[in-house]
Amino acid sequence: MTHILDTLPLTRLPAPGSYGRTGAPGVTVALREDVAAATLVARRGAGVRLADVVQARFGLTLSDGPRMAGDDALAVLGTGPGRWLTLAQTRPGLAAELASTLDGLAAVTDQSDANILFEINGPRVLDLLAKGATIDLDPEVFRPGDVAVTAIAHVGVTLWRPGEEIAYRALVARSFAPAFARFLIAGGAEYGIGWSRRG
Amino acid sequence: MRIPCPYCGARDAHEFAYLGDATVTRPDPAAPDAEDTFFDYVYLRDNPAGPHSEWWYHASGCRQWVRVARDTRTHAILGTELARKPAGDAA
Amino acid sequence: MSRLAKGGLVDRARALSFSFDGKRYSGLAGDTLASALLANDVKLVGRSFKYHRPRGIVSAGPEEPNALVELRAGARREPNTRATVVELHDGLIAASQNRWPSLGFDLLSVNGLVAPFLGAGFYYKTFMWPASFWEKLYEPVIRRAAGLGRAADGNDPDEYEKANAFCDVLVIGAGPAGLMAAREAARAGARVILADEDFLPGGRLNAESHTVGDEAGHAFAARLAAELASNPKVRIMTRTTVFGVYDGGTYGALERVSDHLAEPAPFAPRQRLWRIVAKRAVLAAGATERPIVFGGNDRPGVMAAGAVQAYANRFGVAAGKNLAVFANNDEAWRAAFDAAQAGIAVSAIVDVRETISPALTAEAERRDIRVIAGGQVIGTRGKTLSGIEVRHGGTTEALAIDTLAVSGGWSPNVHLTCHHGGKPIWNADIAAFVPGATPPGLSVAGAARGHFSLSGALRDGVQAGTAAASDLGFATATPEIPIADDAEPAIAAFWHVADSKGPAFVDPQNDVTAKDVGIAFKEGFRSVELLKRYTTLGMATDQGKTSNVTGLAIMAELTGAGISETGTTIFRPPYTPVAIGALAGHHRGKDFRPTRPTPTHEWAAEQGAVFVETGLWLRAQYFPRPGEADWLTTVNREVSAVRASVGLIDVSTFGKIDLQGPDVGAFLDRVYINGFSALAVGKARYGVMLREDGMVMDDGTTARLAPEHYVMTTTTANAAKVYQHLEFCLQVLWPELDVAIASVSEQWAQIALAGPRSRDVLARVVDDSVDVSNEALPYMGAIIGTVMGGIPARLFRLSFSGELGYEIAVPARHGETLARALMAAGAEFGITPYGTEALGVMRIEKGHVSGNELSGQTTARDLGLGRMASTKKDYVGRTMAGRPGLTDPERPTFVGFKPVDGTSRLRAGAHFLKVGAPADTANDEGYMTSVCYSPTLQHWIGLGLLKRGPERIGERVRAYDPVRGGDIEVEVCAPGFVDPDGEKLRG
């Protein structure tokens, strides 16, 4: 039998459609490339002022741990001490806006083209992620709003759980996205994968 | 092996890159005996059987250098701390 | 047929058809291959490893040393599977192994006649010399004569995968102790994983006939398993062997997802390798029954007593028609009673003990079983067993039986407790090794701890489960301990019938006899670890599960040292064999590691690129055109096109690091040998960074985009390493510096444009507001602008080729568009895409160092870059680079080379010698690092490291390459072959 990996592109993202077992998909994956992103690194000694300004200007609380604040419109994810990733779905000028607002408080670096966003849902999502993630994703442990910068199947991933739902977002470097897609489809084929692209 | 990253929580050792001895400090390059002290800093290492302080870099995580206290006989992790405290609260 | 009329946990309504050595048989759902073979009266199942002796099924579990078979056919063929753990399925195909031409008649059984020459130390004594005999004679002969099954010929058509699981309490083994431990931990609220290698939970509860409370043991097990299965915090993993204990509470486990099916369900893996991280673990792995060693003990029909019992109780199979028991312990008596209860004729119980519990003898009497106390079996007969010889009370007696159930007692399955170096401890009371120090977080319960009675196992399991949960802070209620109908069994240590008839096997899988142990002893081996290696005892695929203790006990008898002092060999992972495929999972072939395409990959593929792996990246290596004979023709064309007009290459793979903050300039001064704090905004500079030991780590250009904003490039190979190094400098060495770094390697696609017409092409893609004239964007200039109608871009005037050149960075999603736009803009100039080969040729022509020269053994001075080093500041590596050994003028230093005859091919790796000097290391003067055919100069050129190289321009040296037979004279020259004065790139 030809294995499903032998049918997938090595250097491109797979085409939208169904992969693996037929019937209702156990996992659905939606790709987005339209999310503006920027890293935010606090200047030495400016952490408190930065948090105040972000709170005042964007209504977001900068977490000092791996947690997210905000929503799809504008979210900020803790990725390291004094370091965050901001994401915005309808804000193409995110990096410039942050840079001007936070001048002197944080270094802002545009990353809007650096990553591909995978929205991963479905009843078997945890079974699939367990095949690559070496962190405990039990819903009681990895709570709504939790963020993890980690590696899944040798691919660096920023993973988070946006809400109560057992559903996850994974941000993957652009050049690693095809490899990550291969992981998702190879591991999820036995549950059936619904694959789509948005934005 | 699992290493409790001070920022990320318990993570597999595969996520880290190992550097080694965290007890040595980069010497003063302006000191007259700099060549000797740098030689020791670069090459001389103790090899304790027991607790050891080591640098591990959380390459697949928060990209922080973490000082890890590890028992070299058992691989038990006795404690971890960040090399640099967060940008913080001062000023 | 030996299927009993009733009983057993098999599904008598579901017959399964299978074949063994081509013959069809029928078994039942719930059978193992072994139980189905026994049910079909198949007793001879294999030939032994060295002597090709006929062998039968010995056990009913993973310890099986004899009944190894090839499973399945074709590419799915799997050798050395234990018939005792192979779950029967409809259509199963199995074959015996290590026999020729057939199982019944094996020509190589003559090996048995030369057994004296194949004994202990055989390998060490026989094959000492001459060495050439190894390949020609010894190895082929041994491979033919000895060995086990055959590996499959084709690629494995099935998939394997890996998975991770986390829990509070991992319980290893779902026998009585494991079930109780899991139940107590789960009742306390812990997340529990219960793993068992069997397909049916229950362990020995299914093999024995005890009652728990007023319930049959197997029913009790089924009820507990059901209770656990209904708890959402419990995961029961059957067909899953926990094979290793690793650091930090990490356990390796192998789940046989599809091994019990003819082939895996669509998209399902055959096996799944689990990494389980558990805060606590309870090892409830049970115990393994040991044999007693006596002459002829390997004859098919000689079995473990507990296995006879398991076949009767669990599988409803009579292992034979007429049974005798040979034992030294009470447990075996229960096996005899269970066999009798199942309707098997039991002729005798031969027990080496003179004194037996009256309860047992009374029960034997009630069942009309003859008891031979103080007796020993001293011989066997028959191709498959037809009789035994028993010695008792000074006489010997022949008994006609077809099955001998043997028990030398039970060994706790302590294997996993040894994985962190724990040494098992001898407990003379139960004649067994019990766990010593256990890995952190792991406790042991039940028979694995030497509590062999069911009541003891249940109690121990309850306590271990409760302790694990309460240790983790879960509230535990007073547990209820089920009552079973037994007590701890008595045993008298007994290992070996010393003066018995015929070879007495200790390790039947590796054909090691008691005599071999004796030879090893006579030859001076005392340590069990040496005994193991000298005799190969316990080194087969079963890792001595049944033979280990017996072997060392016999050694202890010989030395008189006692078992406790003799000790046991240490068990290492894996507990049972793990397929390499399972360890690899999906990471095989092209998925061994991730493949990273560049932003222009699709465009390059359209252009017909041949790709090359550079690290994880796939880069265009060259772009062949129809009619080009070979890669060199193509590369020559690409180079010539660039030098004559213009070409482009994707250089996005370079590491790109954004640096921001007031201290960036000062920081760069400390990581580069040259200065960057004084670099003007809008300018780029080539930099070299060292390791602290003074060797060059990496090079690249760094540009200043704004007063507090720089962007650094690194080599493709060192991108991650340099980033890590910068973080080390910032977090560990100089935490006071206010510098923020971020990798932008993935954010920016970067394309290099090179050649005299590159400015013309660039001018057509930049927006009107951007001036790329020589004045506005001079050599080493760096500006920010827009291209292709508003797309943000960073423009750098850099050159790796020696030509006028630019690098254009755009957000990655626009990389491919930029490549197409440049192609369109350059069409009239014949713009040529070029690959990494042409890039390499041009950098050699220009005399730039690259990966071959940045070998980790070269200093900046070695590479001719010493003058860049600032003397006014400290930087990483400065002090150590100043050591005399690294500043020695005799060190090989970077220069160029060309063949004296103008035509010879140069070879990288060739060593330099003075002309006429002998080719030995004393005369070695350095080596060639990089070579290429230069289409510009139309001959081969090279770069290399030569002693005092720069002082020897014009001198001839010998380039000696013994590996490929190269030996030519080359002329030393300056490393810049093309545009040495840099007029082109400044033009």
Query: Which residues of C touch chain B, with CB atoms under 8 Å apart?
Result: 246-250, 277, 420, 440, 692-693, 720, 723-724, 727-728, 730-733, 735, 874, 878-880, 882-883
Nearest CA in chain A to C594: A179
The pair of three-digit structure tokens given for residue B49, joined into one six-digit string: 């059987």
- Identify any residues that bridge with A70 across adjacent strands, giving them in sequence order: A75
pLDDT at C935 over 80: yes
> Residue A20's closest chain C neighbor by CA?
C267
Asked if residue C124 has pLDDT above 70, the reply is no
The residue of chain B nearest to residue C720, with distances taken between CA atoms, is B59
Give the pLDDT band (50/70/90) at residue C771: very high
| Predicted pLDDT at B90 | 43
Q: Are residues A28 and A121 in the same domain?
A: yes
From A85, A110, A135, give the residue that closes a domain: A110
Q: Is C615 on the interface with A (CB under 8 A)?
A: no
| H or E stretch covering A185 | helix A177-188
- Chosen from B33, B45, B57, B85 to mutate, greatest number of chain C CBs within 10 A: B57
Tokens for C604?
A: 């390059």
Instruction: Give residue C46's pLDDT.
Output: 87
Q: What is the pLDDT of residue A148?
A: 98
Å between B37 CA and nearest CA of chain A:
30
Q: CA geometry: angle at C567 spanning C556 and C291, to 5°?
A: 65
CB contact under 8 A, A151 and B89: no
pLDDT of C20 > 50? The answer is yes
Give the CB-side neighbour count of residue C463, counting CA atoms within 13 A. Answer: 12
Residue C607 CB neighbours (<10 A): 17
Size of interface B-C (CB pairs under 8 A): 67
Taking an 8 Å cut-off on Cβ atoms, the answer to whether C727 and B35 are in contact is no
A44 with A140, same domain?
Answer: no
The answer to whether C977 and C960 are in contact (CB under 8 A) is: no
At C109, is the pLDDT very low, low, confident or very high (cuts 50, 70, 90)?
Answer: low
Contacts of A80 in chain B (CB under 8 A): 7, 61-64
Query: What contacts C478, CB < 8 A, 6 or more positions away?
Result: none
Of residues B8, B88, B91, nearest to A66 (C-beta): B8
Domain containing A172: what range?
Answer: 4-33+114-198
State the maximum Cα–Cα separation within chain A, in Å, rounded to a whole number.
Answer: 60
| A46 and A96 housed in the same domain | yes
d(CA C544, CA A89): 62
How far is A140 from chain B, CA to nearest CA, in Å? 15
In this prediction, residue C726 carries a pLDDT of 98
- A159/chain B closest Cα distance in angstroms: 11
A20's tokens: 């693996």
Give the residue among C47, C125, C49, C113 at the shortest CA–CA distance from C503.
C113
3.30.70.1400, 3.40.1390.10, 3.40.50.300, 1.10.3720.10: which CATH number matches C655-743?
3.30.70.1400
Q: Is some CB atom of chain A closer than 8 A to the CB atom of B49?
A: no
Chain C residues with CB-CB distance to B63 below 8 A: 723-724, 727
Whole-angstrom distance, CA of residue C554 vs CA of residue C517: 7
Quick one: which of C457, C469, C577, C542 has its CA closest to C173? C457
Sequence-distant (≥ 6) Cβ neighbours of residue C918 within 8 angstroms: none
Window from A34-43, C570-579, C684-693 with minimum mean pLDDT? C570-579
**Is some CB atom of chain A closer than 8 A to the CB atom of C423?**
no
Whole-Å CA distances, A104 to A40, A98, C31, C740: 12, 11, 73, 12
Q: Which residue has the tokens 């590419």?
A: C75
In the predicted model, what is the mean pLDDT of residues C920-945? 97
Q: Is the pLDDT of residue A107 over 80?
A: yes
Residue A51 in contact with partner chain B when CB distance is under 8 A = no
Name the amino acid, one letter, at C585: G
Q: Using CB atoms, which residue from C247, C878, C880 is nearest to B42?
A: C880
Q: Pick from C158, C588, C591 the residue to mutate for testing the A interface (most A CBs within 10 Å).
A: C591
Q: Is C494-566 the same fold as C297-408? A: no
With beta carbons under 8 A apart, name residues in chain A contacting C748: 113
Options 3.30.360.10, 3.40.50.2000, 3.50.50.60, 3.40.50.970; CATH of C297-408: 3.50.50.60
Search chain C and give the residue with CA nearest A4: C267
Set out the domains of chain B in order of their start, with CATH numbers.
2-82 (3.30.2270.10)
Residue C542 has pLDDT above 90, yes or no: no
- Domain end position, chosen among A72, A87, A110: A110
CB spacing of C732 vs B34 below 8 angstroms: no
Asked: is C1-157 a CATH 3.10.20.440 domain? The reply is: yes
CATH number for the domain that contains residue A166: 3.30.1360.120
Assign domain C606-652+747-842 one CATH number from 2.70.98.10, 3.20.20.70, 3.30.1360.120, 3.20.20.80: 3.30.1360.120
Q: For the segment C318-344, what is each residue's pLDDT rounded down to a tens digit?
A: 999 999 999 999 999 999 999 999 999
Of A114, A131, A138, the CB nearest to C744: A114
- By the CB < 8 Å criterion, does A148 face chain B? yes
For helices C514-522 and C548-559, give the axis angle rounded to 10 degrees.
40
Q: Mean pLDDT, chain C, as a whole number? A: 94
DSSP string of A99-140, one letter each residue: HHHTTTTEEEEE-TTTEEEEEEESTTHHHHHTTTB-S---TT
Cα C755 to Cα C794, C976, C987: the distances in Å are 19, 17, 11
- Predicted confidence band of residue C115 (pLDDT cuts 50, 70, 90): low
Q: Measure in Å the smallest separation between the Cα of B4 and chain A Cα atoms.
A: 12
Cα–Cα distance for residue pair C264/C258, rounded to 1 Å? 5
Q: Do A45 and A72 share a domain, yes or no?
A: yes
> What is the Cα–Cα distance from C159 to A186, expressed in whole angstroms?
10
Q: What's the rounded mean pLDDT across residues C598-606?
A: 98
Using the predicted structure, report yes or no on whether residue C380 has a pLDDT greater than 90.
yes
Contact: C874, B59; criterion CB under 8 Å: no
Q: Assess B57–A contact: CB distance below 8 Å, yes or no.
A: no
Q: How far apart are CA C593 and CA A179, in angstroms?
A: 8
Q: What CA–CA distance (Å, rounded) separates C676 from C693? A: 22
Read off the pLDDT band of C984 (50, 70, 90): confident
Which of B19, B42, B45 is closest to C721 using CA atoms? B19
pLDDT at B91: 36
Q: Closest partner residue to C597 among A175, A180, A186, by Cβ? A: A175
Chain B within 8 Å of A139 (Cβ-Cβ)? Answer: no
pLDDT-derived band at C404 (thresholds 50, 70, 90) equals very high
- State whether A25 and A118 are in the same domain: yes
How many other CB atoms are there within 10 angstroms of residue C315's CB atom? 29
Q: Where are the domains of chain C?
A: 1-157, 160-288+412-471, 297-408, 494-566, 606-652+747-842, 655-743, 889-986
CA distance, residue A158 to nearest chain B CA (Å): 9
Do C420 and B74 count as a contact with CB atoms less than 8 A apart?
yes
Judge: C247–B13 Cβ closer than 8 Å, yes or no: yes
Residues A105 and A131 in one domain: no
Domain C494-566 has CATH 3.40.50.10490: no
Within this chain, do residues A63 and A93 fall inside the same structural domain, yes or no?
yes
- Interface probe, candidates C671, C871, C879, chain B, greatest B C-beta count within 10 A: C879
Torsion from C-alpha of C932, C933, C935, C941, nearest 10 degrees? 70
End-of-domain residue from the set A49, A83, A110: A110
Chains with 3 or more CB pairs under 8 A to chain A: B, C
Question: Would you state the pLDDT for residue C487?
Answer: 86
**Choosing among A19, A174, A185, which should be mutated to test the C contact, i.e. which has the most C CBs within 10 A?**
A174
What's the CATH number where A100 sits?
Answer: 3.30.70.1520
Let me know if C153 is exposed, middle or buried by CB neighbors in 10 A (0-12, 13-18, 19+). Answer: exposed
- Residues of chain C in contact with residue A39, where contact means CB-CB under 8 angstroms, are 742
Q: What percent of chain C has pLDDT over 90?
A: 86
Instruction: Give residue C614's identity as a one-letter amino acid code.
Output: T
Question: Largest Cα–Cα distance of chain B, in whole Å?
Answer: 44
Helix, strand, coil percent values for chain B (each to nearest 5)? 15, 35, 50
Whether C761 contacts C646, CB under 8 Å: yes
Helix, strand, coil share of chain A (percent; to 5): 20, 35, 45
ipTM reported for the complex surpasses 0.90: yes
Is B14 at the interface with chain A, CB within 8 A?
yes
pLDDT tens digits for range C848-892: 999 999 999 999 999 999 999 999 999 999 999 999 999 999 999
Q: What was the pLDDT predicted at C141? A: 61
Q: How far apart are CA C78 and CA C90, in angstroms?
A: 17
What SS3 state is found at C718? coil
CA distance, residue C367 to nearest chain B CA (Å)? 55
B touches which chains (3+ CB pairs under 8 A)? Answer: A, C
First to last CA, chain C: 96
Burial of C759 (0-12, 13-18, 19+ CB in 10 A): buried
CB spacing of B59 vs C720 below 8 angstroms: yes
Domain C889-986 -> CATH class: mainly beta
Q: What is the mean pLDDT of residues A2-11?
A: 91
pLDDT for C895:
98
In angstroms, the separation between the Cα of residue B65 and the nearest Cα of chain C is: 7
Strand runs labelled E in C106-233: 160-172, 192-195, 211-212, 215-216
Rounded CA-CA distance C535/A145 in Å is 60
For domain C160-288+412-471, the question of CATH label 3.40.50.300 is answered with: no
Q: Note whether A119 and A193 are same-domain residues.
A: yes
Rounded Cα distance, C63 and C291, in Å: 12
Closest chain C CA to residue B39 = C880
In chain C, residues with a C-beta closer than 8 Å to the C-beta of A182 are: 586, 591
State the DSSP code for C615. T
| Euclidean distance between CA atoms C344 and C813, whole angstroms | 77
Name the minimum distance, in Å, from the CA of C435 to any CA of chain A.
Answer: 30
Does C759 lie at the interface with A, CB-CB under 8 angstroms? no
Tell me whether residues B86 and A148 touch, CB distance under 8 A.
Answer: no
B-chain CB neighbours of C420 within 8 Å are: 74
Q: Report the C-alpha gap between C920 and C268 in whole angstroms.
A: 59
> Is A154 in CB contact (< 8 Å) with chain B?
no
Per the structure, the count of domains in chain A is 2
Token pair listed for C59: 């056990």
Q: Name residue C752's beta-bridge partners.
A: C649, C807
Whether C108 shows a pLDDT value over 90: the answer reads no
pLDDT of residue C348 exceeding 70: yes
Both structure tokens of C388:
């035994």
- SS3 (DSSP) at C232: coil
The pTM (predicted TM-score) of the whole model is: 0.95
Residue C810: closest C-alpha in chain A: A113
Query: At residue C262, does pLDDT exceed 60?
Result: yes
Choose, out of C692, C726, C732, the residue to mutate when testing the contact with B (most B CBs < 10 Å).
Answer: C732
How far does A80 lie from chain C, in Å, by closest CA?
12
Q: Do B26 and C733 touch (CB under 8 A)?
A: yes
Q: Are A86 and A131 in a shared domain?
A: no
pLDDT reading at B1 higher than 50: yes
Distance CA C392, CA C773 (A): 110
